[in-house]
């Protein structure tokens, strides 16, 4: 799913952001102006040095552009013909941001060539950086958004395509800003390492983003995802275009106790847009792409004849997990956003059970 430059000096406009959430769990505390000082300077000093794969065809996207090309649907029925980041959290978590266009026509906003980084690492598509202060450490999440996920080949079929794609890496710091661990998200899971173990450019951990799927890895090469019927489903990474997320981003803090986001500085296009956007969109738990097309849709096909809606398939148990069965269809549903990625985690891994922190690559 989705890599040492001089850090740009930061100047932040003074702005009050109002939280208008329909969900009580995300109501802002009384008197909260939803504005804080900038995210910690070390979050930028150590920001990931991200490489897109050299054959990448679906580039980083601006979420503000993405929402201009979608309607809101639930169970394939229209809920609203338009949506903005300011109104996003007014919609139920069961809704999907559904493309106006037929995705098979590969419209320009899906490929997002405007987001391809230039020779200095600048992408016109802002990253999203979220700092979370915890008991004895600070986790800084670097979220990468792409309007389209181009899936993997399984037995000659392209599977796991979907509109919308959120990936992230996370660096765990001591309260004094010393990096301890790095987490790389990949598909529905990920891998954690000690900071000393990973490859770096200067002090910045290298992140390799896989072609199409944008899953994050600590090494270049062929990445094994899972086995199926004598084959290995793989991702491919290499040192293609360099993406410096510190040059253009939206910055926030997330408070675990109150479950609220606050604006915390920004740079580039992300800074220009963030001023008016507020923070409500971060609390939305719906899906950032189309709902998985049914078998009756001529665009849909499922490897091995297994559909996500075929819950009792005899093929499921002996071969694959539920998530992997879902991935076997040509198109699947879009992903949820940053809030659903366990920002309050205690372990380094998103899935905290049996979290192993590797000490070497």
pLDDT per position as a tens digit, 168-182: 999 999 999 999 999
Look at residue 37 in the predicted model and tell me its pLDDT: 76
> CA dist 24 to 16, 287, 311, Å?
21, 20, 33
Owning domain of residue 135:
24-289+336-358
The tally of domains found in the chain comes to: 2
Q: Are residues 328 and 353 in the same domain?
A: no
**Residue 117 pLDDT exceeds 70:** yes
Q: Is residue 10 part of a domain?
A: no
Q: Is residue 283 part of a domain?
A: yes
Q: Are residues 175 and 314 in the same domain?
A: no
Q: Are residues 305 and 250 in the same domain?
A: no
Q: Is residue 2 part of a domain?
A: no
Q: Phi and psi dihedrals of 339, rounded to 5?
A: -60, -30
Q: Are residues 231 and 271 in the same domain?
A: yes
Question: Quick one: which of 255, 225, 199 has its CA closest to 29?
Answer: 255
Residue 338 is encoded by which pair of tokens? 């940053």
Q: Is residue 60 part of a domain?
A: yes
Q: Are residues 192 and 312 in the same domain?
A: no
**Residue 30 pLDDT exceeds 70:** no
Any alpha helices (H) in the chain, and if so which ranges? 41-45, 63-66, 108-111, 269-277, 316-319, 322-327
Which residue would you say has higher pLDDT here, 24 or 174?
Answer: 174
Give the least confident one: 105-114, 201-210, 309-318: 309-318
Q: Is residue 58 part of a domain?
A: yes
Residue 258 is encoded by which pair of tokens? 């109150």
**Residue 307 pLDDT exceeds 80:** no
320 falls in which pLDDT band (50, 70, 90)? low
Q: Are residues 187 and 315 in the same domain?
A: no
326 falls in which pLDDT band (50, 70, 90)? low
**Residue 312 pLDDT exceeds 60:** no
Q: Is residue 12 part of a domain?
A: no
Q: Are residues 267 and 183 in the same domain?
A: yes
- In a 13 Å sphere around the CA of 137, the CA atoms on its Cβ side amount to 16
Q: Is residue 15 part of a domain?
A: no
**pTM of the entire predicted model:** 0.85
Q: Are residues 56 and 96 in the same domain?
A: yes
Q: Is residue 5 part of a domain?
A: no
Look at residue 323 in the predicted model and tell me its pLDDT: 59
Q: Are residues 68 and 132 in the same domain?
A: yes
């Amino acid at each position: 799913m989705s890599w040492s430059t001089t850090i740009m000096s930061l100047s932040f406009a003074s702005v009050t952001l109002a939280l208008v959430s329909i969900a009580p769990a995300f109501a802002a505390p009384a008197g909260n102006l939803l504005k804080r000082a900038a995210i910690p300077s070390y979050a930028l000093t150590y920001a990931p040095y991200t490489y897109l794969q050299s054959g990448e065809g679906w580039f980083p996207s601006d979420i503000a552009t993405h929402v201009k090309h979608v309607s809101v649907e639930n169970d394939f029925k229209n809920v609203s013909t338009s949506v903005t980041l300011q109104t996003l959290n007014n919609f139920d978590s069961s809704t999907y941001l559904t493309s106006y266009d037929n995705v098979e026509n590969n419209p320009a906003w899906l490929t997002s060539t405007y987001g391809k980084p230039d020779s200095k690492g600048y992408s016109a598509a802002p990253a999203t950086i979220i700092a979370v202060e915890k008991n004895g450490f600070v986790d800084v999440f670097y979220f990468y958004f792409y309007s389209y996920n181009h899936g993997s080949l399984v037995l000659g079929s392209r599977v796991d395509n979907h509109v919308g794609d959120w990936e992230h890496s996370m660096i765990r710091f001591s309260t004094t800003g010393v990096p301890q661990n790095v987490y790389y998200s990949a598909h529905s899971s990920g891998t954690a390492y000690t900071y000393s173990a990973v490859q770096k450019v200067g002090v910045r951990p290298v992140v390799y983003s896989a072609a199409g799927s944008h899953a994050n890895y600590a090494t270049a090469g062929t990445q094994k995802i899972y086995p199926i019927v004598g084959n290995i489903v793989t991702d491919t990474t290499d040192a293609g275009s360099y993406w410096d997320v510190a040059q253009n981003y939206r910055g926030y803090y997330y408070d675990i106790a109150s479950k609220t986001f606050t604006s915390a500085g920004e740079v580039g296009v992300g800074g220009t847009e963030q001023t008016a956007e507020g923070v409500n969109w971060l609390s939305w738990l719906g899906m950032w792409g189309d709902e998985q097309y049914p078998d009756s849709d001529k665009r849909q096909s499922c490897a091995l004849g297994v559909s996500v809606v075929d819950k009792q398939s005899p093929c499921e148990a002996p071969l694959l997990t539920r998530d992997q069965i879902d991935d076997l269809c040509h198109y699947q549903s879009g992903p949820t956003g940053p809030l659903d990625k366990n920002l309050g985690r205690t372990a380094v891994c998103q899935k905290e059970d049996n979290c192993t922190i590797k000490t070497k690559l």
